[in-house]
Amino acid sequence: MLNRIGQFAHALFSKIGPSEKKYIQTHLNDQEQRLFFSLDRPTQTHCVRVARTCQVMMMAKEMSVRQHELIRAALLHDIGKPANIIRTRHRVFIVLLTLLAPGLLKRILRQPQGWGKLGQAVLAHVQHPDRGAEMAAKIKLPPDIIDLIRHHHQPYRPGEPMELTILRRADELN
């Protein structure tokens, strides 16, 4: 629960500073940067934290992974979240519903139009991996990165790429 409180504080107060901008510029080309900077600020800072967590995890375990692809995917994994629909308050509700009332979350998903903006936000949140993969395909990202974006919220599957396992875990931690 303390982790969730920290995430909420990050969403409210974190910013993209010069070191984060340099990190993004180092790992993403101009077209990818445009996608990244179309995200809202909390999602941008979340994606940077996820990418940096991926790096730490790779170094700590001395894993053999495609580091450059993983970092690009981590920075872009939430590009399918529309900033004009999923607001910070919606993120808080979605996290709380997922943890405390998953039945209500399923009910909202069955009839999102009856729940107003919250229903739209929940639906957009659930659809964001597929939407993000479509956006990544439009700018011709490599298929491996598209797959990481598409599957980052799916449960672990034996034989999946190590990059996906790391991305999913880093996303959960952040």
Q: Which stretches within 77-115 are classed as H helix? A: 88-100, 102-110
Please write the tens of the pLDDT for every residue from 69-100: 999 999 999 999 987 898 888 988 898 898 89
Q: Is the pLDDT of residue 1 over 60?
A: no
Q: Is the pLDDT of residue 4 over 70?
A: no
Cβ–Cβ under 8 Å, residues 77 and 47: yes
Residue 160's contacts (CB-CB under 8 Å, 6 or more residues apart) are 151
| 38's tokens | 């179309």
Cβ–Cβ under 8 Å, residues 124 and 40: no
Q: What share of the chain is helix, strand, coil (3-state, %, to 5)?
A: 75, 0, 25
- Quote the percentage of the chain above a pLDDT of 70: 92
Q: Is the pLDDT of residue 57 over 70?
A: yes
The CATH architecture that domain 2-173 belongs to is Orthogonal Bundle (1.10)
- CA 149 to CA 39: how far, in whole Å? 15
Domain ranges of the chain: 2-173
pTM summary value: 0.90
What average pLDDT does the segment 86-115 reach? 91
Distance from chain centroid for Cα 100: 21
